[in-house]
Amino acid sequence: MSPLNTIHHDSSAGPVLHVTGDLDYEHAPALRRHVEQLTLTPGQCLVIDLSDLDFCDSSGITALLAARRHAQAAGADLALAHVPSNTLRILAIVGLDRVFTIRPGSGPV
């Protein structure tokens, strides 16, 4: 297992969280706490960059859904960027690829 690390930086559109490691039962609460501490304003877009995500289980998916709810409550949007193919496959199987805004590609966020 890889520990979960999140690096936060601000962009002109809103905060960006770069997630590395495993987003699993053990580590998902840390992401939830990090997101809950973010102050979002209406019109912003919280981007969660998953380009260095190693693993994501159902607890990780739940943490991403909680992040979406947090953004919506603030009148902001949420986008998942650089979603690894195995995680994107899971999102598609359960229909969450139609719930999340997913930004493909490998360029900067």
> Residue 51 is part of a domain; what is its CATH number?
3.30.750.24
108 found inside a domain: no
Q: Residue 92 above 70 pLDDT?
A: yes
Q: Residue 101 above 60 pLDDT?
A: yes
pLDDT in tens, 41-68: 999 999 999 999 999 999 999 999 999 9
96 found inside a domain: yes
**Which pTM was predicted?**
0.92
Report, in angstroms and rounded to the nearest whole number, the Rg of the chain calculated over CA atoms. 13
pLDDT at 42: 97
Find the domain containing 18 and state its range. Answer: 5-103
Domain count, the chain: 1
Q: How many CB atoms lie within 10 A of CB 28?
A: 22
